[in-house]
Every structure is written in structure tokens, then in C-alpha cells.
Chain A
Amino acid sequence: MSVRTRWAIAAATGLIVALLLPRLGVPTFYISLLTQTWIFAIVAMSLDLLVGFTGLVNFSQAALFGVGAYTVAIGATRFHITGFAEVIVLGIVAAVLTAALFGLVALRSEGVGFIIMTIALNEIVWGLAYQWVSVSGGDNGITGIVRPHVGPFDVSANTGYYYVCLAFFVLALALLLIVVRSPFGLVLKGVRETPRRMLALGYNVWLYRYLALMLSAGFAGMAGVLFAWYNQFVGPVTLSLDQTTQILIMVILGGIGTLYGQLFGAFVVVFLSNELSAVTQRWEMILGLVYFAVVMYAPGGLVALVPRLWARLRGRRAALATEEP
């Protein structure tokens, strides 16, 4: 079996299991945690496009995510824009425009400078959400967001909405995989590795970074829209620096530069934080130990563990096979 078919089988099995889960009597609470996982996986993948493929550690990802979420809330409560497709498009456009602005400022610098700039930009957007009460509802946020019908389907129940988010996750993963394998994606990798050489080869490094940032924002905004509908609430925490850090942790846990790995990163963070906190007050410490362990012993992220374990198992089996006769 080639690596390719093996991956195809794994992906197909995963998808079938994901589709069947709500039908297998999994409690609705876990269905809602999984829904949250799909959403965070999308935004983590969008950040991975920047961190893993373009070499931009963007600390304003939560702001882009939050702009998508606030677009839903403000659109619904002030302008009565509630259609499914139009809100998704609006949320994505709003996030992309925000990133277009961010890029003009932040991309003047690289490395640590870029990080500091994006932290500042994130704080500005957070400050707006926190203090511009007449628009954003301040720290109390905006409630009363209603999930729209998706075509003929009523997704107000958790199970229906689970499928919506799953579909968007699959779509986002597919699109991002196409992007990173395209010539454009290869240029991004070049920009990540040796920006100077790319410059010398005649590539407009700044422009590629700028485009990657906007592309990433589109996916982050999409996840933000889904998150606003999921919680039916938006508050400043959604676009706080804490949220950025959490997304970044998902990326690191899942495996930087893998895209699909972000699903595991999101899964671990969402489930550990919600399940452990019910068991122990020290859940943050345990989460910290998990990050620590992953960074120390599996720097490639959780997904890098799978092929490694697989290889070890196979190695053993192969060894056994040779011993047998």
C-alpha cells in the first residue's frame, strides 16, 4: 500500500466515523464539544498557513476570528442580516479587510517585530470590542444571535449544527491543502525558508506574505462566523490575546505545517480544558505539562507521533516475521 492510499483510507474512515458519531448515541454535550473542535480546527489551520507555511507568527489571529464573529452579531442585531450565505460571505470579507489593514502595518517588520506589531493590533481590536459599548456591547458582549436555516435544514439543534461545522472543516482543509500544494504554496514555503533568496529570484516577498495573511484571515473569519452561531453569543474574550495563544497552542500541539494536525490540536485543547476542569482545579497545570511533553518529545506535534508509532509497530512485526520460520 502506498503512503497515499493509506492516507486516503485513514481520511475516509475518519470522515465516516465523524458522520456517524451523532447517530451512535454520543451525548449531545460531546457533540457540542466536537462541534467546537471543528471550528477551532479551522482557525488553527488558518494560523498554520501563516506559521507553518509562510513563517509568520501572527498573534492577531484571534482578532481576525473575532471580527468574523462580531460581524455575525452586529449584522444580526443592528442590521437584521441573518441569511446563512450572506453572513458567511460578510464575515469572511470583514476579516479579510481587517487583515488587509493589519498587513499594511505589521508586514513592515519581520520576526519579533512582526509578532509585537500583531500583538498590538490584536489589543486594538480587543480594546474596540471592550470599550465601544454602543456597537459591541462592551464586556457583556452581544447575545441573541439566532442560527439561520442552511438551505432547507433547521440547524438550531446541536446535531444539525455539528454537520454544518464538519462540512466547513472538510471544505477548509481541502482548500488549504490545495493552496499549500499549488505553486503559490511553494512560493510561500520559499518565503518561509529563505526570504532573501526568494527576493533575489524576483519574487515580491512582501506581496506573498500579504496575500497569505489575507487568505488566512478568510478562513479565520469563516471560523469566527461559525463560532458566533455556535455559542449564539460574542464577547471580547473571543478576540483576546488569550484566545490567540490558545489557537497557537493548538497549532503547536497538532503539528506545525501539517494542516490536518490542527484537528488533533483543537481536539486535545477543547476536550482537555472542558473535561479536566470538571475533575481537578489544576487542569491548567496538566494542560501545561501536555504542551511541555509535546514540545520536548514530539516537536513535530501529535500527528508526528502516529507515523513514528506506526513505524515502530511495523518494525516489530517485521522483526517477528523474520524470526518465525
Chain B
Amino acid sequence: MTNVKRLAAIAAAAFALGSVGAQTHDARAQAKTFKIGFLYPVTGVFAAPGKYMQEGLELYLKEHNNTLGGMKVEVDVADDQGNPSVGLTQIRKLVEQDHVDVVFGPLSAAVGSAIVPYIEQHKVAAVYPIVSSDDITQRTPSDYIVRTEWTSSQPTHVLGDYAYKTLKYRKVATIAYDFSFGWESLGGFVDTFQRDGGKVTKQVWTPLVTSDYSPFLSALPRDVDAVMCSYSGAAAVNFVKQYKAFGLKMPLICQGNTTDESTLQDTPDAAGMVTALQYTAALKSPANDKFVAAYTKAYGHEPSYYAEGTYVGAQYLDRGLAAVKGNSGDAVAFVKAMRAVRITDAPRGPVHLDDRGNPVQNIYIRRVEKQGSQLQNVVVQTYPNVSQFWTYNPAEYLKQPVYDRTHPACNACGG
């Protein structure tokens, strides 16, 4: 008897699995819904920022009655776990199984790079609301991808210039993650800071997974005006805490994600840090006030740049879909239409895309200040309409290799 029961249970499970498959087919039959394949890390190391992506998209859809460009929207979620191989499997599922009209995501740069050939082979339109790897809109752009957030070096170009001209720093050391996001973040800073006349005397790189920063902190020289850094998530919390605990007195200036709202309240030592990014929840503007109020009401915490980036990504999808009147079938034309969209009232400020598909937008220099019981990234200066190429000539900029560990070379290391 128990065997019969077991068999029945197995049969029921098989049936349930089968009906899941059947449902997706039924859904496809209903005409005129626009299917978003939402690829983001639901689980894994990036799950925490991934949650903000999910909230950003959800909020936009809720505010717009679940329609984009006049079409009813259906969201198919796929979990890339922050792992490129899984991302590839999941995008196959979204495209081949669920027949989505657009791939929306991911978060991890590694996943973002890995799925590019697939996107091009299958001619699917994709919106990258978060991924910041420079070359996706620089040396190897794709006609199938719209990037709506930033390049890693876009805010730090500004920060390098600000550090030299306004903060009057002359000698700086750097410390960051030892992988492409860290290199690109610092590359932008070192490039503009050195061209202005500043000296970078030491560059320290820390492994991606580091729990004890002290050996790296002791490698930092003390006779510098400031230390430039780039971290995110739990690493940012850890790094800033240990920097202060180590008794280092040099001011910290960092890539904006180091003091991102998703971890800011867990980083009490961050007060006084100066960072640069294209967004801050503390930005005072009617559009942002409205966004922050709605977001905080819905989720009980402030939006981070992950949330705002995804929200703006949805805004691009919305306007682009309206521009092609719902005919998203021709991916290249759809992407072109999205790239032509100009948003004047995004929470972060006015945004338009350059001819390689990267946002031209305000970069905010922010200082972490305590307001009431909450830490805030308060805007101290706005650089309007910053392109990914800063003030350089794009053609000449692109002849340089992408920023990495050794490029641009620091001009005063070992000296």
C-alpha cells in the first residue's frame, strides 16, 4: 500500500510539473501582453542588492497599473544567482521557454558580459539597468542592449577632478576590490586626478572575499591627503568599519556604491566620507521626493541606486515601447527607440543616452551626514550632463585599453 501511495505522490508531482509547463503556454496564447524576462540574483551573494532591483521594478509597474507603453505586462522572473553559467541557463529559459519580449537585468557584471553573445545570437532586446562594465557601451557595444544606469568609471572621473580642484588634494593612495569593477572605478579617478596634476603614491588591491582588511590597511601610506576606495555591499560595511578601527585618519573618498543606501545605516563610521554617484536618495527634487516617498511607503526603507536604476530602466522600457507602438518584435529597432528616449524627470535628474547607449546624466558629489537618526548622502556639488567619456574625445578615449590594475599607471608609486 505504501508503495501505491508513493507512486501516487510521484505521479501527482509529475503532473504538477507538467501543468506548470502548460500554464506558460496558455499565457503565451493570450495576445498583446508584453513579457519581461526579469533576470536578477534572487539568491546567492548578490541577493541583498537584488532585492532592491525587484522592488524598483515592482514599484514602477504598480504605479503604472501594470502597463508599459499601453501594453499589459507580465514579468517572468529568473534567478541568475550572480553566477554567469546559471545566468546563461536562465536566459535560455526566458527566451526559449517563456518567449519573453525583453530581457531585463542582470545585476552582476560577470553575468552581464556572459549573456551578450546569446542576446546577439537570438536577437533579443535587453535592458541592463545596473551592470556597469565600461566596455558594454565603450569598446564592444551591442545593438541589442540598452544600458540605463552608468559605467563604473563615470562617477569617479568626476571624483578625481573634484578631489584635485575643490578638495585641493595633491597626494592620494587607493584601495579597492581586485577585480574589474574595482579597477574601472579607480581607473576613472586615477586618470582625471593625475591629469589635473595630482600624485597617486600607492595602489592596494584586496581580494574579492576579504574579511580581515588589516594587512591591506597597514600597506597604505599615511602621508597622503586622502584614500580613494571602491567597495559595495557587506564588503563596504566591513572595510569602512575596519578603516576607522585601524585608527587611520586620512579622509576616505570613494566610489558612491561604498556608501549606498542599501548598506549606509549599517556603516555608522561613514559619516564625513565624500563619494560620487549618479543618484542619492537625499537628492532634493520633486521627482525624487515623490519616488522616495512612494518607495519608503511601500518597502519601509529608502531606495538605493539599485532600486532607482531599475526604476529608470522600467521607465526606458515604458517610453521605448510607446515609441514603437508596442511592436517590439524587431529588437534592433526597439533598442534604437529606447536609446532615443530622453527622460527629464527621472528621480536622479535628466537622462539621455549617448550614441553608444550609455546615460549622459548628473553626477553628484555627496557627503555622508547624519540627519536625525539617519545617515544621508547629502549632495554637495552637482556636475551636470556627464558623459562616460568625461571631457575626453571619445575616439581617442576608446583607443586606450579599458581601465585595469595597471592602466592608467600610477605616477608616483614606489617613489
Contacts and interface: CB of A to CB of B under 8 A. Distances in A.
- Per DSSP, chain B at the interface is helix
Nearest to A276: B79
A27 B89 contact: no
A88 B364 CA distance: 52
A257 interface: no
A313 B113 CA distance: 52
Nearest to B112: A140
A133 B404 contact: yes
Interface string A106-139: 0000000000000000000000001101000011
A144 B97 contact: no
Contacts of B404: 133, 138
A32 B92 contact: yes
- Residue from the set A131, A277, A284 with the largest chain B CB neighbour count within 10 Å: A277
Interface in B32-59: 42-43
Contact of A232 (B86, B90, B117): B117
A278 B77 contact: yes
Nearest to A313: B3
B133 interface: yes
B85 A238 contact: yes
Contact of B180 (A140, A144, A237): A140
Nearest to A237: B83
A233 B179 contact: no
Contacts of A281: 42-43, 79
A13 interface: no
- Per DSSP, chain A at the interface is helix
A237 B178 contact: no
Given A27-B21, A233-B84, A278-B78, A139 B109 contact: yes
Contact of A32 (B21, B83, B89, B117): B89
Q: How large is the interface on A (under 10, 10 to 19, 20 to 34, 35 or more residues)?
A: 20 to 34
Nearest to B42: A281
A233 B114 contact: yes
B117 A233 contact: yes
A141 B84 contact: yes
Contacts of A36: 89
B73 interface: no
Contacts of A313: 3
A143 B93 contact: no
Contacts of A144: 117
Contact of B43 (A131, A274, A283, A316): A283
A143 B113 contact: yes
Nearest to A131: B178
A283 B42 CA distance: 11
Contacts of A130: 179, 208
Contacts of B92: 28-29, 32
Interface string B356-398: 0000000000000000000000000000000000000000000
A231 interface: yes
B342 interface: no
A33 interface: yes
A238 B81 CA distance: 14
B180 A139 contact: yes
Interface in A228-252: 231-233, 235, 237-238
Interface string B302-323: 0000000000000000000000
A29 B96 contact: yes
Given A131-B178, A237-B84, A283-B43, A140 B110 contact: yes
Nearest to A231: B88
A274 B114 contact: no
B340 interface: no
A39 to B, nearest CB: 11
B97 A27 contact: yes
A230 to B, nearest CB: 9
A48 to B, nearest CB: 22
Nearest to B178: A131
A235 B43 contact: no
Nearest to A27: B97
Interface in B75-122: 77-79, 81, 83-86, 88-90, 92-93, 96-97, 109-110, 113-114, 116-118
A29 B109 contact: no
B405 interface: yes
Nearest to B136: A140
B89 to A, nearest CB: 6
Contacts of B79: 277-278, 281
Given A133-B404, A231-B88, A27 B96 contact: yes
A273 B133 CA distance: 28
Contacts of A238: 85
B178 A235 contact: no
B110 A141 contact: yes
A140 B133 contact: yes
Nearest to B77: A278
B110 A235 contact: yes
A235 B78 contact: no
Contacts of A33: 89
B303 to A, nearest CB: 21
Nearest to B405: A133
Contacts of B84: 141, 233, 235, 237
Contacts of A131: 178-179, 405
Given A278-B77, A281-B42, A139 B110 contact: yes
Contacts of B96: 27-29, 32
A274 B42 contact: no
A65 to B, nearest CB: 12
Nearest to A236: B110
5 contacts: A28-B92, A232-B117, A274-B90, A279-B20, A313-B3
Interface of A: 27-29, 32-33, 36, 130-131, 133, 138-141, 143-144, 231-233, 235, 237-238, 273-275, 277-279, 281, 283-284, 312-313, 316
3 nearest CB pairs, A to B = A29-B97, A140-B113, A277-B79
Given A139-B109, A237-B83, A274-B89, 13 more contacts: A27-B21, A28-B96, A29-B96, A33-B89, A130-B179, A138-B404, A140-B110, A143-B114, A233-B84, A277-B42, A277-B90, A278-B79, A313-B3
